[in-house]
Amino acid sequence: VSTAEISSPVLCCRYSNDGKYAAFGCSNGDIKIYHTQNYAHVYTLTPDEGNKKLPVTCIRFRQNNSKDLYVLAATYSSGHVRVWYVTSKQVSKQSDQGVELFCCDFNCTYGKFAAGGDDYKIRVFDTERMTCSNTLSKGESFEKMDGHASRVFAVKYHPDNEHVLLSSGWDNTIQIWDDREAHAVRRMFGAHVCGDALDMDPMYYHVLTGSWRRDNSLQVWDFDSGRLIKNVSLQSQTEKTVCHLYCAKWAGSEYIACGGSDANMMRIIEKSSLQTVGLLDGLGRGCYTLDYNETAASPPQIMCASGNNVFFMNLTN
């Protein structure tokens, strides 16, 4: 395990698509960029807001247009969406939505970008212009729940369908959307998501959710049928405190990674046996964010953050 300390608590993290950089969104509004080979700090992305900077809530890298161009999009609790050129530390585009935003994701073509937040709605942006092309929300009917009834803390585009989007939050649902329509097309019930804890397996389209609760916090769902496949057990007989999950992610084809609070830890689970094969526990604060990276140029790696501390772990068989 390699570690680094950041000057402000970390709320979100993301690897660049080629694994060269790791980005950390901080509570003071800065985004810190580290090199993954030597874990050295290389860039700081600071918005021009004076003393009114508010936390970075989510980060997503856009697919590189050229070898040296790194572009990321970030949401802020101020309501801003910003697109950054990483190496020049310049804002390319920005938009103020006037509502606290918590989560974001690019679609599989990187032509669209979705953000969810405090007003129960999901905004879909045209990536090139960063203009809002559609707003997804619940309809007026009380007879069907075709949208969210509370805060949205996670959005995830389908890995192969550029228009299909999943979202989850406080209302105990996973909503499934066509981003060209106004309301959700279907839903799954049972996940209480409070962070970046919604993911989809690109091979089998299994949906992974992490819920902030004591029981059945890590769950696997079938996307096509909406059926719950498995409740993944997290607590061993020797563990006295339950971890309430804030983040969960498929870690390649072999592992699941999840982290949370109360029992402040990050756990790595083998997908086939559902047994814990790695554990980072005794953290000073909750683990609110993690990410996985696997490229031809670097070994599989998981990073996570707890307070001001970030951790990098190489996965070996």
For the chain (317 residues), the mean pLDDT of every run of 10, in chain order, is 95 94 97 94 90 90 75 96 94 94 97 97 93 95 90 98 98 98 97 98 97 96 97 76 95 96 95 93 96 82 97 85
Return the C-alpha torsion angle 139, 110, 33, 122, nearest 10.
0
Compute the Cα dihedral for 61, 292, 296, 87 and give only its sign.
positive
Single-letter code of the amino acid located at 93: K
Neighbours of 258 (CB within 10 A): 27
pLDDT of residue 49: 75
Looking at residue 232, its pLDDT comes to 96
**Residue 23: predicted pLDDT:** 98
User: CA 148, CA 309: separation in Å to the nearest integer?
Assistant: 33
Q: How far is CA 303 from CA 1, 2, 292, in A?
A: 9, 9, 7
SS (H, E, C) 161-223: CCCEEEEEECCCEEEEEECCCCCCCEEEECCCCCCCCEEECCCCCEEEEECCCCCCCEEEEEC
Cα–Cα dist 273/286, whole Å: 26
Distance set, CA 69 to CA 3, 18, 87, 136 (Å): 27, 11, 7, 31
Task: For residue 245, give Cα distances in angstroms to 32, 100, 124.
Answer: 24, 22, 27
Scanning the structure block, which residue is given the tokens 């203009």?
Answer: 131
pLDDT recorded at residue 68: 62
The whole-model pTM stands at 0.95
Q: Which residue has the tokens 């830890």?
A: 265
Q: Give the alpha-carbon dihedral of 253, 293, 15, 106, to 10 degrees.
A: -20
How many helices and strands (H and E) does the chain possess? 0, 28
- Sheet with 80-85: list strands edge to edge: 56-62, 71-76, 80-85, 90-96
Whose structure tokens read 């389908």? 158
Other beta carbons within 10 Å of 77: 18
The pLDDT assigned to 183 comes to: 97
Q: Are the C-beta atoms of residues 81 and 60 closer than 8 Å to each other?
A: no
164: its two tokens: 């299909």
| Alpha carbon of residue 112 to chain centroid | 16
Q: Is the separation of the CB atoms in 119 and 99 below 8 Å?
A: yes
pLDDT of residue 269: 96
Dist CA 227 CA 220 (whole Å):
9
